[in-house]
């Protein structure tokens, strides 16, 4: 049963302290995926594949998911969980660093889930932009990063770069023409961006150079 597989993965992740989508974010995550009705999905940051299987479960039956993970051991664990699921043949797991793998994409996507290194969301978004279908959804997890991104408290030194880069990501998805972004503050902050390609197609070149500046 799929439900048992999810429980097994939750336990596996908790014992090994592997981050998976937080319990209080799951309902909203699943609802957004169902509404998106996406046939082609890109996920950046697979870990053990927990969110990948949620993406598969909540999407149309013919969904194809490409998911990217740089940690070989986690990717192997993800692969073995995918095999135990009904979705194995619909998932393509790419093992390597997203900042180079994302430049080799050959498909377009109607749902993108950014959940790898928080400091790299801007870079990942810039690389994914040419591969967005005509309209769709980009979800980015952990954008409020323990309250350090918009909080009043001073940010510990070691987190300053990440907080600064997350602010840049949020600003970017609020400013790109054709993008509409809401931030859901449950969990660790989920940025929900809807796009209409028509609106930003003409601006694309400008957008790219804007991304590069970040």
Q: Which residues bind Mg ion (CB under 5 A)?
A: 115, 141-142
Alpha-carbon gap, residue 59 to 62, rounded angstroms: 8
Q: Between residues 146 and 197, which has the closer beta carbon with respect to Mg ion? A: 146
Nearest to 109 by CA among 82, 89, 129: 129
Q: Between residues 40 and 74, which has the closer beta carbon with respect to ligand SAH? A: 74
Binding residue (CB under 6 A) for ligand SAH from 71, 90, 108, 135: 71
Q: In what order do the strands lie in the sheet with 91-95?
A: 91-95, 64-69, 40-44, 109-114, 132-141, 190-196, 179-184
Residue with tokens 């299987």: 53
Q: Between residues 48 and 172, which has the closer beta carbon with respect to ligand SAH? A: 48
Cα torsion angle, 111, 44, 30, 187, sign: negative
Binding residue (CB under 6 A) for ligand SAH from 6, 42, 51, 64: 51
123 binds ligand SAH (CB under 6 A): no
Residue 81, binding choice from Mg ion, ligand SAH, none, Cβ under 5 to 8 Å by partner class = none
Alpha-carbon gap, residue 16 to 9, rounded angstroms: 11
Binding residue (CB under 6 A) for ligand SAH from 59, 66, 69, 77: 69
Smallest distance from ligand SAH to CB 89, Å:
20
Binding residue (CB under 6 A) for ligand SAH from 45, 136, 178, 189: 45
Q: Between residues 120 and 207, which has the closer beta carbon with respect to ligand SAH? A: 120
- Burial class of residue 9 (count of CB atoms within 10 Å of its CB; 0-12, 13-18, 19+): buried
Q: Between residues 50 and 179, which has the closer beta carbon with respect to ligand SAH? A: 50
Q: Which two tokens stand for residue 6?
A: 């999810």
Alpha-carbon gap, residue 55 to 97, rounded angstroms: 21
What residues make contact with ligand SAH under the rule CB under 6 A? 19-21, 45, 47, 50-51, 68-71, 74, 97-99, 115-117, 120
């Amino acid at each position: 049963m799929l439900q048992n597989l999810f429980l097994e993965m939750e336990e596996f992740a908790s014992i090994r302290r592997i981050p998976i989508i937080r319990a209080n974010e799951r309902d909203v995550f699943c609802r957004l995926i169902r509404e998106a009705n996406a046939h082609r999905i890109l996920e950046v940051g697979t870990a053990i594949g927990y969110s990948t299987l949620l993406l598969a479960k909540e999407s149309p039956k013919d969904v194809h998911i490409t998911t990217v993970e740089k940690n070989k051991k986690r990717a192997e664990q993800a692969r073995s969980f995918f095999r135990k699921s009904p979705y194995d043949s619909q998932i393509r797991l790419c093992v390597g660093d997203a900042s180079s793998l994302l430049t080799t994409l050959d498909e377009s996507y109607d749902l993108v889930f950014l959940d790898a290194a928080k400091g790299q969301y801007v870079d990942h978004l810039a690389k994914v932009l040419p591969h967005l279908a005509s309209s769709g959804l980009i979800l980015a997890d952990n954008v409020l990063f323990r309250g350090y991104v918009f909080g009043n408290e001073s940010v510990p030194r070691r987190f300053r770069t990440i907080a600064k880069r997350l602010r840049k990501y949020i600003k970017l998805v609020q400013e790109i023409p054709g993008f509409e972004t809401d931030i859901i503050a449950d969990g660790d902050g989920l940025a929900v961006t809807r796009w209409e390609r028509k609106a930003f197609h003409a601006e694309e070149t400008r957008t790219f150079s804007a991304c590069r500046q970040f």
